[in-house]
Structures are given as C-alpha cells and as structure tokens.
Amino acid sequence: MHKRVFDCKGLMAVIFVLAAALILPAQRSLAQPLDQAIQQSFGAGQLPGLHSAIIDIADERLAEVYFSDEDEIWGTSLGLRTHGPDTLHDLRSVTKSVVGLLYGIALAEGAVPETDMPLYAQFPQYPDLLAEPGRDRILVEHALSMQMGTKWSEDLPYTDPRNSEIAMERAADRYRYVLEQPIQEKPGRTWIYSGGAVALLGKLIEAGSGLPIDVYAKERLFDPLGIDRFEWMRGVDGVPSAASGLRLTLPDLAKIGRLVAQDGTFGGKRIVPADWIFRSTRPRANLSEGFGYGYLWYLAGSEQNQVVIAVGNGGQRLTVQPRHGLVVASFAGLYNEPNSWKTSLRIVSNFAVPEAKRRLAR
C-alpha cells in the first residue's frame, strides 16, 4: 500500500526550497554532461535511494539515468531491481495529479459535473448523507482542491487502522466512508490532504464515462501520449486506486510533464483542454505565502514563472516549469522515509536548474 510520507509542514519546506532553487542564481556550474554529473553524485552517496531521473528542456533531453536498487509495489518487496526506460514504477501520490488531468478531459466530454456543482448531489445513492446540514455546500471543486472541510487524516502510520486512507480501504463502501466523515471546517476554507477526495473524483469519472478509471485513462490519455505499458493497482474491493495506484515508466511520466508544459498538447495534438490546464494550475488553496495548491497539483513561484509539482511517497516527483519548458521526472525507493523528498529535489536544484539557467544565459 502506498503511503504519504510527510505532513503539510514538511511539504512547505520542500516547496520553499524548490522555489528558491528556481529563482536564485545557480550555485554550481556543470562542466560535464548531466548524465555523468548525476551518476557521479549517485556514486558519491549524495543521491540516496534514487532509481532514475530525466531532465528535459523544451524538446531536448539533457539527462536520462537509471540505477539498481531495492524497490516495491505498494508495499510488496520486489527485491533488487535494475531500473531502465521500460521499468514500471509506483507513482504513489503523483497518481492524483494524473487523475486531475483525466477529470479535465472528462469535463470537456460532458461526462463529469462542472467544478461549481454540489458534490454530494452526484452521489444520489446516499440520500441520508445529502440530507445532513451543510453537506450541500461542498462542491466538486472542493474535492479537486482538497478543501471539502470534512475530517480526514493521513498523518498516522499506514499500519494504523485510524489512518483515514487505511480505514477507507477497509470499509465495506469506500465512497460512503469518505462522504460520511464529519464536517469540521467550512468548505473552501482549509486545505486537508485527502486521498478520499480523489477517490470520489475517480468515481465521478467512472460513473460519467461508463469506464473504470484505468480504462478511461488508457483511451483518453495514455494512448494519445503513446503510453502503451502501465499498471493501476487496485484496492481489496477491486477498485483502481485513484489516489496512488498508477505505475508508469519514467519516460512516460516525462511525457505527462511535457503535456502540462505545453498547455495540454503533445505531438501537435490537443489531449487536455488548455483551459483546464490553466484552471488546474491556479492557486485554489493557500498553503503558505507564495505557495499553493490547484486542482491536484502543488504550485510554487509566481504567475509569470510558475512551477507545477506532483509528489509521491518515496521520492517520486514530477516538476514542470512551463515558461522555460523544463520537465524533471524522477523515481526513488525511499518509501515511508521522512526525508525522501531530498533526493528528488537535488535532481531539480543541483542539476536541472543550473543547466537550464546556463542555457537561458546563452
């Protein structure tokens, strides 16, 4: 089972460091190809747990490296693996951001409700919950921005049945479990990290399209991107986990980054509406000064120099800086370790950003 690795305060530190790295002058000059520089740093023990990394600027691939290390699938050990461009890897919570793209595609098709529609009304199978005071004010956009205002906590260990996601996975009806949580904040006021909110969005896509989310993703997103290999892990109820179950190769994750950097196009073809990319990457929740959360994407920097980020337990990361066409994707195996974010952040700050600035200064 996937696990969220750091709390909100830890995430703020990650975003702050990343934003600073992309704004401050470069602190090192790379005198060797990026592949070699990353490999040398890995060999010196400076990138613990790194499985692979890709750095692209515009249409140019500056680095693509792979290493051998221990890995797992949703908590099940795979032992030592030699990672490569064809190796499927857990995305963990990066999956959430992919679901955000799928929601935009489904919205353009008229398969899912607009963001300003009441959320509970989309689940008529639970009339008793809809009738409870205050739930009618929770909108679809509050699930997309994790501001439903209902009680949810994934800060406890994922071996603890009191962890909200574990409780959801063990519930007889995962959707009812999410929807029946007590209201503790006014909707739209407070950001509360919630895999349950994403489970609801996945259900809306399934209900509106008539397809399980993994099949919908294949037809509407993966096939147009040329992604022909993926896995989507399922819970005990057989439902694909919208919060964390996706497994992709690293080059294919980089394609998703390129899609975002190009306002929803890839290979000259429109895949995600440009308006949805814009809406998804506008701050909806203020996490800290200058840092926010959109529709299932973390956001840093300014509107003119924005950084769009997806993160997952263990050091999984996709970083996109659309203005300069910078896409950085990395996988790591530091699952459930509090400092797992450091390795993937070093790929961005120590290698990608200095090289990007060097090229822009030409």
15 within some domain? yes
Boundaries of domain holding 265: 8-91+246-360
Q: What local confidence, expressed as pLDDT, does residue 30 receive?
A: 47
As a whole-number percent, the residues of the chain with pLDDT over 90 amount to 79
CATH number of residue 78's parent domain: 3.40.710
Q: Between β-strands 326-332 and 316-321, what pairing exists: parallel, antiparallel or unpaired? A: antiparallel
Summarize pLDDT for 264-303 with one digit per residue, the tens.
Answer: 999 999 999 999 999 999 999 999 887 999 999 999 998 8
- pLDDT for 236 equals 86
Alpha helices in 109-218 (DSSP H): 127-130, 140-144, 164-170, 174-179, 195-209, 213-217
Q: Is residue 227 part of a domain?
A: no
Structural domain contains residue 240: no
- Determine, yes or no, domain membership for 277: yes
Report if residue 189 sits inside a domain: no
Identify the H or E element spanning 291: strand 291-293
Residue 58 lies in a domain: yes
Q: Comparing C-alpha atoms, which of 253, 351, 361 is closest to residue 35?
A: 351
Rounded to whole angstroms, what are the CA distances from 94 to 37, 91, 176, 329? 26, 5, 24, 11
Identify whether 118 is part of a domain.
no
In a domain, 258, yes or no: yes
Q: How many domains does the chain have?
A: 1
Nearest to 288 by CA among 299, 296, 276: 299
**Structure pTM?**
0.92
The pLDDT value given to residue 11: 44
Residues of the chain with pLDDT under 70: 1-31, 157-159
